[in-house]
């Protein structure tokens, strides 16, 4: 399981993120606090507070998706 901190600031970012997540054959969740959403659901991700730093949890490994997440990664 891989967890990454990301920040999605625009609706276009959300659309691109969901599109890339949908290409993976494993479950991906995105969450903050106690709110957990399926990362492959555009309505779910859009319903989140995009002013917050979000955590992405991947229940599998895909190098292409991990490289894509670097675009939205938040330094810790």
Position 76 confidence tier, pLDDT thresholds 50, 70, 90: low
pLDDT tens digits along 18-57: 999 999 999 999 999 889 999 999 999 999 989 999 999 9
Cα(3)–Cα(11) distance, rounded to whole angstroms?
22
Cα(68)–Cα(23) distance, rounded to whole angstroms?
12
| CATH number 3.40.50.300 is the correct assignment for the domain at 2-69 | no
Position 21 scores a pLDDT of 96
pTM of the predicted protein model? 0.91
- Where along the chain do its domains lie? 2-69
Sheet architecture: strand order including 54-58? 2-6, 54-58, 28-32, 35-38
């Amino acid at each position: 399981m891989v967890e990454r901190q990301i920040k999605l600031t625009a609706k276009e970012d959300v659309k691109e993120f969901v599109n890339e997540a949908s290409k993976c054959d494993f479950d991906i969740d995105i969450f903050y606090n106690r709110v957990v959403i399926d990362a492959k659901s555009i309505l779910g991700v859009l319903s989140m507070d995009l002013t917050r730093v979000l955590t992405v949890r991947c229940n599998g490994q895909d190098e292409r998706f991990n490289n894509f997440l670097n675009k939205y990664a938040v330094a810790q």
